[in-house]
Amino acid sequence: MRGLILAFQFLTRIPMPELVDFKKEELCAAAVWFPVVGLTIGLLLLFTAQIGMSASPWMAALLVMLLWTGITGGLHLDGAADLADALGAAHRDPERFLAVMKDPHTGSFGVIVIVAIITTKLVAVAWIVKSPEIELSALLLIPAWARLGAIFWSQTLEPLAPGSGESFVWQVSKNIYWIWGAILLLLSIFFVSLLFATAAIASLLLWRAYLKWRLNSMSGDCLGAGIEYCECFMLLALGLL
């Protein structure tokens, strides 16, 4: 139960009971619950979309986006912005890359990425809501797939630098992402479609391939950015497939 509470505390702004005698190692073990956090977020998004549909698709999309951003506190958007600034300003200089990544300020690249992600999600959700042929229950699964990705990437890529990505190498069994992957695969096929399930898996693999090619490593910001980009990819795939 402590692990579940820690997972919610780390990934969301949902109020949770205060834990005493917290140890850093517990957070690493709590990663096994990340997909559960994702499913909870997805359930709230689905419920919000259904409420907003009574007004209009755009109202539904706006409410979903406000909740999506608010419930995570912008945590993953911040990671996407930091990574974009570092990639844009580093000019393939590793030391410069790390320095920009650690800078708490947001530059022009980061702002552009945040606007692009929010716009993509807003338009894609509105598109999905007003398309009767698209299964709305995909909103339940998209956040879970993306947070499973965070476990997968941290387990299969080296930390970017000592003290950077090391704290995000979640100390869980390597079988965890296979077990959760199988669960989410079955849920995706049953509630949405095989094509959606394929797109979800592809998004996780593509982001890992990009990090492997561009950085050959990962950090907390890379994981957060991956969550945002994979969510966008899956939303767009729903309308394009």
Per-residue pLDDT at 125 exceeds 90:
yes
SS3 sequence, 97-134? Answer: HHHHHHCCCCCHHHHHHHHHHHHHHHHHHHHHHCCCCC
The pLDDT confidence band at residue 45, using thresholds 50, 70 and 90, is: very high
Which residues pair with residue 218 across a beta bridge?
Answer: 159
Instruction: Give residue for tokens 């997909």.
Output: 35
Structural domain of residue 192, as residue ranges?
A: 2-240
Query: For residues 159 and 165, is the Cβ–Cβ distance under 8 A?
Result: yes
Q: What is the pLDDT of residues 179-191, one digit of tens each?
A: 999 999 999 999 9
The pLDDT confidence band at residue 169, using thresholds 50, 70 and 90, is: low
Q: What is the pLDDT of residues 82-94, one digit of tens each?
A: 999 998 887 777 7
Per-residue pLDDT at 41 exceeds 60:
yes
Query: For residues 35 and 184, is the Cβ–Cβ distance under 8 A?
Result: yes
How many domains, the chain?
Answer: 1
Per-residue pLDDT at 55 exceeds 80:
yes
3-state secondary structure of 19: coil
The pLDDT confidence band at residue 205, using thresholds 50, 70 and 90, is: very high
The span from the CA of 226 to the CA of 211, in Å, is: 9
Look at 130-139, 159-168, 190-199 and tell me which has the smallest mean pLDDT.
Answer: 159-168
The span from the CA of 185 to the CA of 154, in Å, is: 20
DSSP state of 168: G
DSSP state of 59: H
Question: Which residues are CB-neighbours of 56 under 8 A, at least 6 positions away?
Answer: none
Query: For residues 68 and 45, is the Cβ–Cβ distance under 8 A?
Result: yes
3-state secondary structure of 51: helix
The span from the CA of 89 to the CA of 100, in Å, is: 7
pTM for the predicted model, two decimal places: 0.93
The span from the CA of 241 to the CA of 236, in Å, is: 9
3-state secondary structure of 177: helix
